[in-house]
Structure 1
Amino acid sequence: MKNVETVDVYTAKGLLTVGHRYLDVRTSEEFSKSHFEDALNFPYMFKTDEGGRIVNPDFLPQVASICKKDDHLIVACNSGGRASRACVELLNEGYQHVANMGGGYSAWVDAGFAGDKPPGDLKVACKFRPKDN
């Protein structure tokens, strides 16, 4: 298991302007609600019928179908948990330049980077974030 680099949303935004790719590992439903304009969406986990979550068994092959192991990737989910786990898998698979975006897409929205809609219209509820964020 490798250490995952975490960058804040301001650093991530700067890195995206110089060629890093935004890898959104939220579910398709979360992604369709709102996302970074040029994001690639490969869900790291799926919701089960019982309300739990399972790791997407095709996650690494899906990423490999688009990304090279030397691509610079900013990985994000809703709040950072899934993205951190996805980063570990990517690093263990040999991806060389992977960073978790701290706070996830919710922090991106909070920073005002997602447009002019109210944050409540853009974010998905998260048990790890206060309801007023």
Structure 2
Amino acid sequence: TWIILFCEILLIFLYFFSSEPDVVTVDVHRAKDLLRSGHRYIDVRAVEDFNIGHVDVENPLNIPYLFNTPQGRVKNPQFLEQILSSCKKDDHLVVGCQSGGRSVYASRDLLNADFRHVSNMGGGYAGWVKNGLGVKKPKAEL
């Protein structure tokens, strides 16, 4: 029983003192409010997906977190450098992807790189569209 008690205490200690930052996830309506108040939108989907349609906000930034390759998806090795070329570590950021999964990992990477104000948009672009929020699509070529 002492071993079980020790393991439980160790797990509690690790939970509360974990070095992994907690990713704050907001729903699409809260994300919209944050973006209206000046937060910057980072779309981490593939460029092709972004170009089909994206969240209609001022100056969205598309920096893919993953690349599609014949071998599958691979992490963008320049992700943080590309973010740093457009954003400061104290900027307020909302990170989104297609459904809210990839953006959790991207948000965690940003927090681990000492970005201070990062929110993950739960539901992603699909949730944004489902809730009837503004979408920007390229004009059809004539």
Sort the TM-score into its range (normalised by shorter chain): 0.7 to 0.9
Q: Which residue is equivalent to 1:22?
A: 41
Question: For 1:25-64, what aligned pairs fall within 5 Å after superposition?
Answer: 25-37=44-56, 38=58, 39-50=60-71, 52-64=72-84
CA distance, structure 1, for counterparts of residue 51 and residue 134 of structure 2 = 13
- State TM-score, norm by structure 2: 0.78
Range 31-40 or range 10-19, more displaced:
31-40
- State TM-score, norm by structure 1: 0.83
Q: Which residue is equivalent to 1:91?
A: 111
CA distance, structure 1, for counterparts of residue 133 and residue 94 of structure 2 = 15
CA distance, structure 2, for counterparts of residue 33 and residue 67 of structure 1 = 24
Map Cα deviations across residues 14-43 of structure 1 (whole Å, 9 max, x no partner): 011110011000000110010123310000
Structure with the higher helix share, 1 or 2: 2
CA drift at 1:116: 9.6
Question: For 1:93-112, what aligned pairs fall within 5 Å after superposition?
Answer: 93-112=113-132
CA drift at 1:80: 0.8
SS of 1:54's equivalent in the other structure is: strand
CA drift at 1:100: 0.3
> Which consecutive unaligned segments of at least 5 residues does structure 1 have?
118-133
- Which of 22, 26, 33 aligns to 1:3? It is 22
- Shift in alpha-carbon separation, 1:31–1:18, aligned structure 2, 3 A: same
SS of 1:23's equivalent in the other structure is: strand
Q: Which has the larger radius of gyration?
A: 2
CA distance, structure 2, for counterparts of residue 60 and residue 116 of structure 1 = 25
**What code does the residue aligned with 1:79 have?**
S
Equivalenced residue count is 116
CA distance, structure 2, for counterparts of residue 31 and residue 115 of structure 1 = 11
SS of 2:54's equivalent in the other structure is: coil
Taking only the aligned residue pairs, the percentage that are identical comes to 53
> Which consecutive unaligned segments of at least 5 residues does structure 2 have?
1-19, 138-142
Q: Which residue is equivalent to 2:17?
A: none
Q: Give runs of ≥4 in structure 1 deviating > 2 Å.
A: 114-117
